[in-house]
Amino acid sequence: MSAERVIVGMSGGVDSSVAALLLSEQGYAVEGLFMKNWDEDDGEDLCSAALDLEDARGVCGQLGIPLHEANFAAEYWEQVFQRCLTEFRSARTPNPDIWCNREIKFGLFLDYALALGASWIATGHYARLRGSGADITLLCGVDTAKDQSYFLHAVGADRLAHCLFPLGELRKTQVRKLAAEAGFATHDKADSVGICFIGPRPFRDFLRRYLPLSPGDISDVHGTVLGQHIGLPYYTIGQRRGLGIGGVAGGGDGAWYVVDKDRRHNRLIVVHGAQHPALFCDQLQAEQLHWVTPGALPPTRCLARLRHRQALQPCTIDRDALFSGGASAALAVYFDSPQRAVTPGQFAVFYERERCFGGGVVA
């Protein structure tokens, strides 16, 4: 009987390298696929993508497995990036990695792999799956510092049923050790950080290509003008760097932080001090709800996180809203403790112990 065929999404990083290694050792017929999700338009893009592809080829060569290449840049532009621009224009802060997982990695990539005859796809995500088929559930990764269930919460069970996460039971230190023992050049490669399509470049410099500057006032909560901003899309709630208002007379010691965006008056509102009460709130509304398994909903008393790596926060949810259905469905969330820098456009994701149920966009 031939081995089950699995195609691993090879990014050129250490995680996907070890995912391919482990599956090969487990007896799967492993192949790799390198996805091009962004069209290079300058030297920095070209250099970074070329190096990642070279590393992916190197690892596949060492493992003796083929490497496919696929270009999903047009679909990424339409399904992820344009949506991000719409959110930025609305003065919200999107999370493109969540959309990329749902639309590209576990959408287009999965379909592409199945069309090639694969039984499974695999990635280097730090998450776990339990069960199979319609009964599959998404669990946090064992390494709580690297757990990526937050980024996977919008992928449906029907897609996850075709996926393998070989790193879910491992810690990052173990993964790097395995890569070093295998002689992979990626063993000490730095993890990618920041927004997926921007890479290592400064966020503002990149965004200026697509969104015009729209300067306006920076003011405190009392309306006192403290400076000028370059455009509301370029700032996020809780931000303190890049405001250009240090040393305001009478401001005392400490930094200023973004607390709100007034779109009507094109005004950025800031407060002084990291513990200012206006930076905290104990409730929010989530919209555009998505559950990993339709009908499998979180209990009224559950846990939530509002950003990757945040400790899970005890909360109560309004279950009446869960069953309202439709595109306008929304969910009220009440936290036991005030949450800092709750940001419209980001995601609230719900858990019970280690199980991730899904989530919605912070409205």
Contacts of 239 (CB under 8 A, 6+ apart): 257, 258
- Which DSSP string do the residues of 62-102 spell out, in sequence order? HHT--EEEEE-HHHHIIIIIHHHHHHHHTT----HHHHHII
Decide: helix, strand or coil at residue 55.
helix
**Residue 135 CB neighbour total at 10 angstroms:** 11
**Residues noted as catalytic:** 100, 196
d(CA 194, CA 262): 26
d(CA 260, CA 84): 19
d(CA 199, CA 217): 30
Number of H helices, E strands in the chain: 11, 17
Contacts of 302 (CB under 8 A, 6+ apart): 315, 316, 317, 350, 351, 352, 357
Do residues 180 and 173 make contact, with C-beta atoms less than 8 angstroms apart? no
Which residue type sits at 26? Q
